[in-house]
Amino acid sequence: MMFEETSLKGAFVVDPDRREDERGFFARTWDRAEFEARGLNAELVQCSISFNREKGTLRGMHYQARPYEEAKLVRCTMGTVHDVIIDLRRDSPTFKRWLGFDLTADNRRMLYIPEGFAHGFLTLEDQTEIFYQMSQVYVPESAGGVRWDDPTIRIRWPAAVRVISDRDKNYPDFEPEGART
């Protein structure tokens, strides 16, 4: 696997190192030792998928607060998404900065998202699926979010949002105290 650290410390784009031959290719998508060697959380306790019927579906921007913060490894297994992360670590020099990446079934890129980040995505194709590996089980009482169009964060989405849940649409304006504590 090939790891490329982003400008948000601790967040990585991970590309599979393909071993190709006449049949196609083989590549690892997870290796505990590779993650641990880079000081990344390699404790994966839960895996989930998110299937989205329509292009323009937005999910996010979600996080879990202490003590249930989670690291995530996210990959698009069908379709295309614009995947966005926000650094919510108050002590970070990149606090409130965001980055977006196109993850596709074709490019097979993964995004490693450390604890203390909000995460979300916008589908760019119909019939899109995301596969998540997480370091923490989901704890509903610890779940929080940042509104997808928050005026403080100012995420620039590459396409129109057509489908969004009421919860995601109605998060309050960003408050640093409401983020990671």
Catalytic residue among 68, 112, 119, 132: 132
Instruction: Determine the Cα–Cα distance for residues 16 and 103; give it in Å rounded to an integer.
Output: 13
Active site residue 119: no
CB distance 149 to 98 below 8 Å: no
CA atoms within 13 A on the CB side of 167: 7
Active site residue 63: no
Catalytic residue among 62, 63, 112, 119: 62
Concatenated DSSP letters of 21-64: ETTEEE--S--HHHHHHTT------EEEEEEE-STTEEEEEEEE
Active site residues: 62, 132
